[in-house]
Structures are given as structure tokens and as C-alpha cells.
Chains A and B, each alone.
Chain A
Amino acid sequence: MLQDLTDKFESVFKKLKGHGKLSEKNISDTMREVRRVLLEADVNFKVAKDFVASIQEKALGHEVLKSISPAQQVIKIIHDELVALMGHSNTGIKESNMPPTVIMLVGLQGSGKTTFAGKLAKYLKAKKRNPLLVAADLQRPAAVEQLKVVGNQVGVNVLADLNSTPVKICKESIVHARKGYNDVVILDTAGRLHIDQELMQELSEIKENTNPQEIFFVADGMTGQDAVNTAQEFLKQLDFSGVVLTKMDGDARGGAALSIRAITRKPIKFIGVGEKFDALEKFHPDRLASRILGMGDVVTLVERAQQAVDIESAKKLEKKLRRQEFTLEDFFEQLQQIKKMGPLEDLLKMIPGAGGKMMKGMKVDEKALVYTEAIISSMTKEEKRRPNVLNGSRRKRIAMGSGTSVQEVNKLLKQFQAMQKMVKKMSKFGSKGMPRLNF
């Protein structure tokens, strides 16, 4: 996608070389492409239009053509502007002087409120807070039961009463929190449509009765053009204070975030990246901007690698690679480190272009990883260092020990040989360029 955009820009700029500054006419072709990219990322039609207009103004004055790569420079202008519009990373939560602090979660049906309630509770608990989850969805079948299970899973108390009403239980929760020494109260409200006046009114009543310090609008990251309508109505009714974007672990480009920002100007607080309760991330404007432009999320990838790979062993490995001493033992260690970075398929997605065509047909089989680990663990030290000692009976023993089969063992050894060859080739190139990820 980014390559797409760069190529298109480059061909536009080629024609213009030597003409000095960009003129309005010159740049409009480029801007059409930018608009297309934004629309394909689900940025709202009008938001995209206005954004392109503002970029056009900015790009006009620039002496783009004198730079080495005008295409890249224009992309940078666009990227920077997107980042600026997105606001800052901000996970701060406004506190009440008189605990509990009340956080109210609102949004459309199925956007991820209850799951986020669990994530937030877990996050706060890790910060030594004592949150209380409040089941204010008395509408959806088993919504209360769901929150109870969630509370149990994250080890946080849940206040629920099927015979109460949403307004009543929220109001009560504050008294309840004071008694139970809960310093934060999280209100999990029912999903509702922004055009459902009665239910929107109910939210206003909950707000009036609990005076929340924060109201988070929880929005599905895959939302399309309609994001502006819903965000606008929820804002009008509740003047919410922050936005949570969920389900960003998929391959949606997340243009809804820009639409919601444009219409509400409220900060994006958290990003949901999975169904489990630790799948919560801070919002990084630069990454989201890259993602909307289809540039891949290299930053996250590098960051995860940095977290997972300890420098010492990375250095050791590099030396080994240079000397072509890479053994099964090292291979095993590498596997451990990759595993620490999170599910492989998530990692692959962050590589630009990997989400789409490039990796098609390439299956990430976490089970194979488990097999590989089991097989290597069943080897002796000597076998790990010098796999050529592995004769038939040894292979049989390893297969037995690892609960796999001889074929599986053979397959792994073959793969390892291929890898050693590749390592040999790679080490000829030295270690310049890319940040070392030790894959």
C-alpha cells in the first residue's frame, strides 16, 4: 500500500522535475491518491475531503521538487499532519477528590465495552487500585453473567442486581464502593444506538446521578463511514471525555479514529488489541497514522522486539552468526525470544504488506513451534551442538521423548540445515541496515 502510494506520487513528481514549487494543478493528482487511501482506510468522506484540502495548502508552499525524494517528502507532510490531528498519547484518568472515581463506558452494541471494562479493571488493579465493576446492562441476555465471569477472571468485585434498573444500580454503586473501599467504579452500560432517544436519555440520567470523572466512548476499530454519526450523537448527549478503539488486532486500517477525532476532538485513550484482558495498549498517534496510510506498524514490531530480546544474548547470537556457529541450542533460544513477543501471526501483521497479499498462504502454526521446542528439549547437549551425530536410534529416542514422530524430527533437522545455509549467506552481508530483530 505504501509502496503503491509512493510509486504513484513518484510518477506524478517525475513529470514536474525542474518546475520549482508545486502548483495547485500539479498537486491535485497527488491529492486524489491521498484521498483514495484515506477513504479505503474508512476515514469519513467529509473528513477525508477536508483533510486533503488542508494538506494541499501545506504542500503548495513547499519546495518539494528540490528534495531528493519529493514523494517521500509529501508523504511525510501527510503523515505529520495526521499525527498532529490524532492528538497525544494519554492514558491519564481524571480522579475524583472524593473517591470513588467514576468511569462510565458507553457505545454501540457489541463494540467491546464489557471486555474493555475487564481490561481497565485489570490495568487499574496492576496500578494498586481497587476497582469495582458495575453491571449496568440489564438488557442483553446474560450481560450481567458475562460481567460476573469477567470480574472473576480479572479478580475484581462485580456489583450486579438483575431486579434493579441501570440508573439505580449505578447510583448505588458509589455508596457500595465507599463501603467496600473501592476507589474506582467502572460502569458497564448496555450497547445502544445513538438514535435511540429513550436509551440515550437513560445514559444522561446515569451521568447526572453519578457525576463520572470520565466517560469513555468505546468504538469498534473496524467501523466505517458511520463513525461520525455515532460519535457526534454520543458526544451531543453525554459530552464524553475520551475514546477507546477496540478490535485493532485485526487488519482494519482504523480510519474511524480520524473521523471520531475530527468530530469530537476528544483524546483517544486506549486501544484494544485482543479478547484477553491484557490485550490493551496505549494510543500511539504516529502508529495509527502509519496504519491509516497503510504503512504497517513497524514501530510496534520493533518495540516488542526490544522488550523481548535481551541485548546480551542478541550480541552473543550475532557473533555466532558471524562465525557461522549457529546451533540447535541457539535456535531453541531464538524460539523462546520470538514467543515472548506475542503470537506470531500478530507479529507478521505488523510487517508492512504482510497483512495482505505477501503472506498469503503462509500459515503460522503455533503448534509446530511447540513440537520444535519439544524435540530440541529432548536432545542431549552434544546432539544440540552437533546434529550430525543424530543417527536412527537417537532420532527414535528423541521422537519418543518429545511425544512426536521420527518424521517430525527429520523434518525439523532438515529445516535447521536449510536455516544454517541461509545464515551463512546472510552473514556475508554483515550487519548493516535494519534494526536487528534476530529472527
Chain B
Amino acid sequence: MASFFEKFKQGLAKTKEGFVGEISSLVKNQFEIDDDFIDKVEEVLISSDIGVATSMEVVDDLRDHVNRIGFDHKEELFTFLQEHLSKSLDRTTTDFVEGFFQPNKKPYIIVLVGVNGVGKTTTIAKLAKLFHQKGKTVMLAAADTFRAAATEQLEIWAKRVEAEVISTQQGADPAAIAFDAGKAALARDVDVLIVDTAGRLHTKVNLMEELKKINRVLDKAVAGAPHETLLVLDATTGQNAIMQAKQFREVVDVTGLVVTKLDGTAKGGMVFSIQKELQLPVRFVGLGEQVDDLKPFDAETFVEALFNEN
């Protein structure tokens, strides 16, 4: 057993030199793609949580390209990989105003959903700020009535971003608060209502039913609502994110993803499989704990980061 750990530590020290460096040196000496090389590419891909199946596909395509066309230069190979990967990501909705927010729907209602602790509440604050900056009035609904101090957390954020909060006490029915908020948003003529929901694992059937109910009553309060249901994924999550996306989408009409905590060393590669299997576009990325740390998703930057050593 000891030898396993030792070997592992050595291996880890080696990779600190960086993938880009290693690939460059590999490419300098030879343009043939041998097992070592494939191994290296695979390592980068899998280490980004892209998953075995998807990474194998990419590697196959790479191999195929080499056989048919070949690369003259190492930069070409990078370009190929990057283009290949970013091509597979949806890029139609990166423009905030045109692609996301629709001013003709008022109040524009957005619900954030996701498993526990991924960053829903923080993302709501960031979104509110974004709308506020664009001159929109924002209301928040504290429909997480389960977690300790969830409402207080949202209220503190609301104060900072100058949004109004509709809330109730812990343990109350989250659907009721969502309904009230929908009505209040309508009555007070606000532009945007963002609904915070409690974190829930996608495997908990009853909690998922509760979510369904929240979206249902929102539609009752404001016909056609919610206009967006964003699934928040934590970039540090591995392959389970795919299960999360599938289950949440089965229950509510998820319209897009937010990937948080990309300011760490995790790469969020699981969005490739999610995009491919479920056609769910990434709308925003979270890059920190502060209110300005939300950026519209940009496929090129995202893919580039896969190849960066932190």
C-alpha cells in the first residue's frame, strides 16, 4: 500500500510543471501521436471533470484529425483542441440583455435551483446587482424556508444590492412565499423577481416535488412564470453534476446553467456532457464570493482555462 501512495506523490509533483509545457515539448520532438501523448491529453480533459466518455471522443477526433490532415505546428494542435471543445458549447445566449432578460415580460421571474451549498443565494445577489446596474427594479423571494438563517442571508444581500425581499419565517411553505412574491412583484410593478429556493439533492423525491409546486404556483401568480429556471452547479462537483442536471430538468423546466466557484482550481468540465446530452446552455459563471463576481458565460475563455495550470 505504501508504494501506491509514494508513487502517487511523485506523479503529482511531476505534473506541476504544467500540461502546456509538457505538451509543447512532446510536440516539439514528434508530431506523431503516440500513447503517451494521448495519455497526456486525456489527463487534462479528465482532470477537468469532463468525464471518460466525452474525453475519449475528443481524443478520437484528435487522432482522426492527425491521420487525415496532421499538424504542422504545436499551436495548431492547441487551436484544434480549443476550437473543438468550445464548438460543442452553446453560445447563443451570452448577451445579457438580448439573450437572457426579456423586458416585455414583467415581472420577469427567475427561479434558482440546485443541490445544497452550490451558491444559489450568492448568485441571486449577483444577478440582482447586474439588473440593478441596468436600471431595473429587483425583488427577491426568500423561498428557502428550511436552512438556518437562509432568509437573513438573502436579506443582507438584498440590502447591499438595493433589492426588496419578500420573506416569511423558517419552516413555512416555500410555495406560499413564492406565490405571494409573484403577486407582490406584479402589484409593485417591479421589473425582475428572483426566487431563492432551498438546496436539495436531486434524489429526494419529495423535495423535488416541492420545487415543482413552487414553479406551478408562480405560474398561477403571474401567467407564464417562471421565465427562467437556472440550475446552479458547483464547478468542484464531479460526474454527479450530470445526474443533478438530468433530475432537475425532469422536474422543472430548467432553461440554463450557472457554474459557480470557477475562481478555484476546478474547471467545471462536466458542462460538456450536460450540454451534449441535455442542450442546457451555461448562462453565467461565478468567480468569487463578492457581488460583482458574476460574468456572462464565454465559451472560449472557459475552454482556455481548461488548459491553464493554476
Contacts and interface: CB of A to CB of B under 8 A. Distances in A.
A208 interface: no
From B1, B5, B238, residue with most partner A Cβ within 10 Å: B238
Contact of A220 (B43, B119, B237): B237
Interface string A144-159: 0111111001000000
Task: Please indicate which of the listed interface residues A109, A263, A349, A365 has the most CB atoms of chain B within 10 Å of its own CB.
Answer: A109
Nearest to A265: B5
B49 interface: yes
A42 B156 CA distance: 36
B240 A252 contact: yes
Contacts of A227: 236
A116 to B, nearest CB: 12
Interface of B: 1, 3-5, 7-9, 11-12, 15, 42-43, 46-49, 51-52, 115-119, 146-150, 152-153, 155-157, 170, 199, 201-206, 234-241, 243, 261, 263-267, 270, 289, 310
B266 A40 contact: no
B52 A39 contact: yes
Contacts of B235: 226
A366 interface: yes
Contacts of A263: 8-9, 12
Nearest to A108: B236
B5 A250 contact: no
Interface stretch (A45-53, A280-288, A325-333): A45-53
Contacts of B8: 46-47, 50, 262-263
Contacts of A110: 116-119, 234
Interface of A: 36, 39-42, 44-47, 49-51, 53-54, 84-85, 108-112, 114, 139-143, 145-150, 153, 193-195, 220, 222-230, 232, 247, 249-253, 255-256, 262-263, 265, 275, 345, 349, 355, 363-366
Contact of A250 (B150, B155, B202): B202
A228 B12 contact: yes
Contact of B1 (A84, A224, A355): A84
A147 B152 CA distance: 12
B148 A153 contact: yes
B47 A146 contact: no
A114 B177 CA distance: 26
Nearest to A43: B238
B49 A225 contact: yes
A51 B4 contact: yes
Q: Which of B1, B115, B266 has the most CB of A within 10 A?
A: B266
A85 B240 contact: no
A256 B266 CA distance: 13
A363 B205 contact: yes
Given A50-B7, A50-B11, A345-B206, A222 B153 contact: no
Given A54-B4, A142-B149, A226 B266 contact: yes
B119 A149 contact: no
A139 B115 CA distance: 22
A247 B266 contact: no
Contact of B238 (A47, A51, A148, A224): A224
Contacts of A193: 261, 263-264
Given A45-B43, A355-B203, A50 B4 contact: yes
A139 B205 CA distance: 34
Contacts of B146: 275
Contact of B264 (A108, A220, A364): A108
B115 A142 contact: no
Given A109-B261, A112-B117, A150-B148, A251 B236 contact: no
A364 B237 CA distance: 26
